[in-house]
């Protein structure tokens, strides 16, 4: 996640995303589609608009879908390369509130979330 009105933070976040894409050989792959069950390591398009009253995040953000078989490689890499960026790692079980709160891992500062915006509470 990064703060959309802070140019230094935006630049840093986008550099981290590019570094991630390069490191994990995702340069020529399609972006993730939908929210669940990608079946592959992929990066979502950057969301510069996900900051309204009906959105879960208080900031624009970029995200990656990490299948379980990639978790042990990607999460430590992000921990070691995130710099000053605050990072949210969470499961995608379908129980959106629990995924983003009770079951989440934060690197850096924990940010507030608008959990009222989540609609699905069923674990897949």
- For the segment 51-108, what is each residue's pLDDT rounded down to a tens digit? 555 578 877 788 999 999 999 999 999 999 999 899 999 998 888 889 999 999 999 9
pLDDT at position 6: 63
List, as one string, the DSSP characters of 63-121.
-EE--HHHHHHHHHHHHHH-TT--EEE---SSBHHHHHTTT-EEESSPPPB-GGG---B
pLDDT at 21: 96
User: By the 8 A CB rule, do 77 and 19 touch?
Assistant: no
| pTM for this prediction | 0.85
Q: Are 60 and 28 in contact (CB under 8 A)?
A: no
* CA–CA separation, 93 and 40 (whole Å): 16
Task: Quote the pLDDT of residue 46.
Answer: 84
Find how far residue 116's CA is from the centre of its chain: 19
State the average pLDDT over residues 29-53: 83
């Amino acid at each position: 996640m990064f703060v959309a009105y802070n140019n230094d933070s935006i630049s840093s976040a986008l550099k981290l995303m590019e570094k991630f894409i390069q490191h994990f050989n995702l340069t020529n792959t399609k972006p993730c589609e939908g929210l669940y069950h990608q079946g592959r390591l992929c990066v979502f398009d950057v969301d510069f608009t996900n900051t309204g009253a009906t959105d879960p995040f208080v900031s624009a953000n970029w995200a990656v879908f990490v299948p379980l078989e990639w978790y042990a490689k990607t999460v430590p890499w992000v921990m070691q390369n995130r710099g000053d960026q605050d990072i949210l790692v969470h499961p995608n079980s379908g129980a959106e509130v629990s995924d983003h709160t009770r079951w989440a891992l934060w690197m850096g500062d924990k940010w507030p979330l608008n959990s009222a915006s989540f609609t699905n509470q069923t674990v897949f």
